[in-house]
Amino acid sequence: VQDIEFMQIEMKVIEGLKAGNECLKSMHEIMSIEDVEKILDETQESIEYQRQIDEMLAGALTQEDEDAVLAELEAITQGEDVALPEVPTEHVPEILEAAEVEPERKDIMKKHNREMLAA
C-alpha cells in the first residue's frame, strides 16, 4: 500500500515537472535573450541616472558644475534687474505663545484618545 501511495506521489511530482517544463518553454518563446539584455541595459542606465541624481543631491559638484554655479551667481549679483521676493511684514509669534498653545493641544489629544478608547 505504501509503495502504491509513493508511486502516486511520484506521478504527481512528474506531472508537475512536465507542466513546469512546458511553462518554461512557452516563456522562452515569448522572451528572447535580446529582450532580457535590453531590459538589463535599461535598468543599468536607470541605476546610473539615479546615482547621478544622488550625487547632485548630496552636493558632490564637479569643478565644471561649480564653475557654472559661480558664473550664474556672478551674473545674478552683477545685474540690477534682479527680482527678489518680498520680505514678509507679519509679526512672528514668540516662543512663549507657542508654548502656551502646546498644553491646549495635549488636552485635546487626551480627550480624543479617551473617546477612541470608549468607542
Predicted pLDDT at 85: 78
More confident residue, 76 or 117: 76
Per-residue pLDDT tens for 74-90? 877 886 666 677 888 88
Q: Is the pLDDT of residue 98 over 80?
A: no
Q: Do residues 55 and 48 lie in contact, with contact meaning Cβ atoms separated by under 8 Å? A: no
Of 88, 86, 67, 70, the residue nearest 78 (C-alpha): 70
Instruction: Collect contacts of 90-98 with beta carbons under 8 A, ≥24 apart.
Output: none
Per-residue pLDDT tens for 26-68? 888 888 888 889 999 999 999 999 998 888 778 766 788 888 8
Residue 69: which residues within 8 A CB-CB, separation 6 or more?
61
* Cα–Cα distance, 112 to 115 (Å, whole number): 5
Q: Would you place residue 104 in the very low, low, confident or very high pLDDT band (cuts 50, 70, 90)?
A: low
Q: Would you place residue 101 in the very low, low, confident or very high pLDDT band (cuts 50, 70, 90)?
A: low
**pTM over 0.85, yes/no:** no
Structure-block grid coordinates of residue 65? 558644475
Per-residue pLDDT tens for 7-19? 999 999 999 999 9
* Pure H helices in the chain: 2-30, 33-58, 63-78, 95-118
Q: Do residues 76 and 82 lie in contact, with contact meaning Cβ atoms separated by under 8 Å? A: yes
Q: Which residue has the cell 507542466?
A: 19
